Structure 1
Amino acid sequence: MEQQPSSSRKGKRKAQGRDLKSYFSPFGSSSTNPSTHGSEVGNAIIEEEEVVETHLEDTNTIGQQAGSNENDQGTITEFNPDYIISDPRLRIPIEQFSPNIRDEIRRAFMERGPTQPSSHVFPRGEDKRRFRKEWFEKYNWLEYSLVNGKAYCFCCYLFRRVGVDDDKFGYEAFTKEGFRQWKNAYLALPKHVGGPNSAHNRSRAAFDDFDNQRASVKEKIVVHTKEAEKKYEIRVDTSLAIVSYIALQGEPFRGHDESETSLNKGNFLEFLDWYKLRNEDVRQAFDPRDSFSNFDVNKLARLTDIYLDDFCFDDRKRIRDQLQTFIIHVRRVEAFRACYDLASLAMKMVELKRHEIFPLVYRLIELALLLPVATASVERAFSAMKIIKTELRNKMSDGWLNDLMVVYIEREIFKGIDLESIKKAFQKKKDRNMQLPKSPRRN
């Protein structure tokens, strides 16, 4: 391949320098007698221009290497690690890679992750606004280019549908040209995310599916069919075992109140709950989520109308889109399958930092977790007193009644207490006629 004349390269470098100077011009001084501070800024600009020119020269070199691997249609057909460029401004568009190596390119980019230079001192623009590093935590797909000082979308770069999403909001700004209107970022970033069927969320779903290969349709059909058969057998065996035991004891099966908040749901459900806490396979088999099939967006969104102090007007407008996007996301991510109640869902969201991506949904979960404590504690106390202090037990002391009520009301906590620790506490409370055997030492 012929090398370009040095004069041609210098001409291009000057043209690039003029474009970059127009971008860095707000940092300079228009005065004919610049101050020392102005000269320092000028030197900093020159150094930054040299860095940018170096980046662009490297890109030209990579482009020449890519040309040697292109076919007649200009598509890159061979993988080269040099194509995995950190700066989003300098990357080769994903559609220029052949479909045969595109997945390999995506996997390499995903292993590297989005470019988020949090320690960088972001420059101010003409309107005195600048990029905020806090946005990296709120939008984990967000990238920042040190070459041109603009923001890009990592998911849309890797998985956007070329020719389909070209007219969608933020397509050009977050994939090709870059976004730098920091004054309007608080509106533009959420709008780029959009609703559950937005171009960004489709790209994000494709990103999650690619990251979790088990989410493919073929894998789901085979695995879920086998899992369904196994869980069905566990449910049948467990139910028969509980029914046999209760029937042999001549005890009733049903309870007066079998709801989730009931203190006494009846022998069958109480036995089943006890068993689920001690057997992971049984707990998963009786998991009522069924891929969040009971997730009702409209009912959940109406909760925001009750908590007016916690959700502003804009929050109530956006909550439905965020809920729909959230349910699509949790159904795809394998880690959420282990969640069996709101508390475990909240903890998993924090662990995966999804509470930053879906802040309104997380706020709803927080309120739902606080609601039983705030409204039902007193009612539970009186209900427990009626069950514990009956006509045949009305002479018990206040201390014994208080202890029984604490155990009954906080039964979920009590069920999780290790009986071994209670046994040791009982033994040490006073001198006993006989001592418990020592526990075997663990190696």
Structure 2
Amino acid sequence: MNTLAPQQDSSKSKRLRLNPEQMKICHLVRDPEIRPMIWKFHPSKRDKICQAYLKAGPNQPILDKYPFSSDTSHRRRFQASWFELYPSWLEYFIEDDVVYCLPCYLFAMESSIYTGSNAFIENGFRNWKKVALIEAMMKARVRIIEKEILHVLATMVRNSIRKDIRDAKFCIIIDEACDESKKEQMAIVLRFVDVDGFVRERFFDFVHLALVAASREVLQIHEFFTQLTAIVNIVGTSCKRHDQLQEAQEIKNAKLIANDELETGQGANQMGTLQRAGDTRWSSHFHSVCSLIRMFTVTHTILNNITDDGTTSAQRGEAYGVNKVLSSFEFIFSLHLMKEIMGITKILCQALQQKSQDILNAMHVVSTSKLLLQKLRDNGWCNLLEIVKKFCEKHEIDIPDMSTQYTDSFECSIAHYAFDIPNHLKDVGTLSELCQRLKETEKSRTYHLVDRLIRNVLTLPVSTATTERAFSAMKIVKIRLRSKMADEFLTDNLVIYIEKEIAATFSIDSIIDDFESRKKR
């Protein structure tokens, strides 16, 4: 840094910038007002320009006295000590008495429409009264970029894990613990057998339990409700179909009453319609499921009529598709399963929506719902399956034979395997070694069913050691001084920390390329 005499005349008109072709790498233009903007250079030359400016460093002239600002009530001026505070990025332009940010200039993608965003790149900053904002702004910007780079690397690690799993079977190991801020965190670890036959356990994510996705985020449940909505929309889309639905109900009820299968009385057997599931109230899904079960026969009849007599081929094809879904055992099973689950959670939903609800009653209802759901999970399977079978028999829906033994060429493979392997694979002591040797000798292709069986057995979790290590790492990363760390930032840190071996395989250039491709800066 050279000592220069101050130039007081700062009222010169704004000068034109040079064209990129006019500037040579060996003769860098140090004047921020006339040097070409970095995005104007050709990409082949841009990197060399950036490297040359970084090597030269920011322009930081030291003056005996810097000019005062034009504000006579609060006369302030630039301080040379600020160069010591910000030695790597702060640039000062003598003629206009303004400062710039060298890295902001070098890594800018294009000019912003907001004037304030261009202060340190094109226009210059000279509000010395708010000079403290410079440091705050730069620190905030650095923190944002650090988090973005961290997220990029964590995403690359997760993609690498997905690539290792491929289409193989994998097991999800889940455990929970409280972090420093008393949040319930759920660790997700994936256990699988890689292409070479080695058992791997990879930490994949941390999920705050309060943010665990609702059941509709499960793909199979989402598919079920999509199909349910399609059925309701087709059957109830017009007044004509609504009238047909009402007429079909009347015929059905009359037949049931004639056979003494339906009780009569005041207010009983009123005509209804299929109810739509709303997006804002989860209990509406329960009513939609119940209405379809109650009106299954007439809904099936209406869909058959639309399939045969629809006005357009699109209507007929759509009705045929949803009718095929409606008549499948898988859909009927999901229909009754959702009825059982939502019948338990309906009371919970209604209780939590009451304005006068207190925390003690809410906790009691939540505990009761959890116990009933656990009871359904432990002891309700046989009863549910029996209800589904009776429903399918009543409506003449094919029921898969669940007692049929799975047959394949597995027995033949076992016979050849038992005779061949002992002669070729000796001194194999564990299943993991056997899986690896089958891969090395390419016997896994010959006995692919045996190899698949071994891999599935190895995929089964044996312990929760990996999840416990994840919690130990969480206590190292999220301490009392960092108790307000955001969940995404915590997860990205832990993915890179725990799976450091994978993170170390990525080059700096690949991280920079991924970071740059995410958005314009």
Q: Considering the TM-score relative to the shorter chain, is it more than 0.5?
A: no
Q: Which protein is bigger by CA-based radius of gyration?
A: 2
TM-score normalised by L of structure 2:
0.27
| TM superposition score normalised by structure 1 | 0.31
**When you count helix as a share of all residues, which structure comes out higher?**
1
With a CA cutoff of 8 Å and minimum separation of 6, indicate the structure with the bigger relative contact order.
2
